[in-house]
Amino acid sequence: MEREFLAAAIRHILSPEDQLRHPAYAALTAALSENQMALDLLGSVDERQQNPTLLLAILHLAALRGDETLTPLYESLNRGEIIDTEAFARTVVHYLEHHVEAVRAELDRMTQTNEVNRTAVLATVISDVARQLGHDEITLVDVGCSMGLNLFPDQVTIAKTDDGNPATLVTQCLSEGFVRSRVPRITRRIGVDQNLLSASDPEDVLWLKACLWPEERRRVQRFDAILAALPNWPKPEFRSGDAIGQVRQLLEEIGDEPVYLINSWVLYYFTDEDRVAWRALIDEYRAKRTIVWISFEHELMGLTLKFPHVPEPAPRKGANQVVVTSSAQDSTHWGWCHPHGHWFSVDSGPKA
């Protein structure tokens, strides 16, 4: 990826609304986008992994591991303290420039947050589609599941505003007249990922915490609360390997029950060829059996996925497009949502 595109990608990690919510990270991304060492490091990895959030996560990981310079700064952010954001950015960039090899050693990682608050929107879409199609029981498959935290739309509590419980997912509907339906019974929940992470592995947990943004204190608390709740929830199945191959095998194995495939910020990492192959897989099996594919991705991903053109812009910049494809209907633009599920809107998707 050309240097100027990398710089632009770093500058636009945060959506405009997130830049306002996270001024320290906004200052840091601006500083990294102008730093030659940061651009060289990010440009040195495989193009599919040139995700600027990787640098942010590696730097946060150093803070979580107890670096004498970074740890106090990041802890101040997480406590919600007011700090000099420009000084924060300079200090972190200085650390990067003087610990290049330590940062380089972590570049083979993948940013696998798969933010659990997306379930607040996923549950809404799953429920709405299941109501339309008359599905009372489903098998749920999360493609690119990371630790599998988004496999529990029927277990979480979802609210419009923070109710004080750190495990509650919070999302706001921007569309008038929408009524939430119930989540269908989930008989099987299956996570697929090339690099599965485990909630029982401290290093995996630490890495996912590093992928979170320290200024978003509620997000960090929610992650801890959901991890604590996992032992009391149904146990999912996990499949490790190539997404296309694993999903094909699953669709051959699973019985006649409707299969709901979900993905969020996963197809971003596919090559164009892989996205074309994924779409071909969906079309092949939606002609054979009952499937529903719910996709949360940047709207640019739709160019190779045969998603419909959306004439109306997203209600807020930086939104993810929500597209539903099923055996009953070709790809339909359901609505938009914040990348971390803070809000959603319902467009061509019907209102209850």
116-346 maps to which CATH number?
A: 3.40.50
In the 3-class helix/strand/coil scheme, how is the chain assigned residue by residue?
Answer: CCHHHHHHHHHCCCCHHHHHHCHHHHHHHHHHHCCHHHHHHHHCCCHHHCCCHHHHHHHHHHHHCCCCCHHHHHHHHHCCCCCCHHHHHHHHHHHHHHCHHHHHCCCCCCCCCCCHHHHHHHHHHHHHHHHHHCCCEEEEEEECCCCCCCCCCCCCCEECCCCCCCCCEECEECCCCCCCCCCCEEEEEEEEECCCCCCCCHHHHHHHHHCCCCCCHHHHHHHHHHHHHHHHCCCCEEEECCHHHHHHHHHHHCCCCCEEEEEECCHHHCCHHHHHHHHHHHHHHHCCCCEEEEEEECHHHHHHCCCCCCCCCCCCCCCEEEEEEECCCCCEEEEEECCCCCEEEECCCCCC
More confident site: 58 or 317: 58
**Which pLDDT belongs to residue 351?**
54
Query: Region 3-16: what's the mean pLDDT?
Result: 88
Q: What are the contacts of 243-249 at 24+ separation with CB within 8 A?
A: 243/143, 243/144, 243/192, 243/193, 243/194, 243/278, 244/274, 244/277, 244/278, 244/281, 246/192, 247/141, 247/143, 247/192, 247/281, 248/281, 248/285
Q: Which pLDDT tens digit goes with each residue over 62-73?
A: 999 999 999 999
pLDDT digits (tens, 9 = 90+) for 279-323: 999 999 999 999 999 999 988 888 899 999 887 889 998 899 999
Average model confidence (pLDDT) across the chain: 93
Nearest-CA neighbor of 266 among 115, 158, 42? 115
Q: What is the structure's pLDDT at 83?
A: 93
Segments making up each domain of the chain, as ranges: 3-104, 116-346
Q: Report whether pLDDT(269) > 90.
A: no
Among the ranges given (45-59, 193-207, 221-235), the one the predictor scored with the smallest mean pLDDT: 45-59
pLDDT(227) > 60: yes
Task: Compute the average pLDDT of residues 123-147.
Answer: 97
Q: Give the closest residue to 113 by CA, choosing from 233, 331, 264, 6.
A: 264
- Reply yes or no on whether the pLDDT at 165 is more than 90: yes
What pLDDT, on a 0 to 100 scale, did the predictor assign at position 349? 53
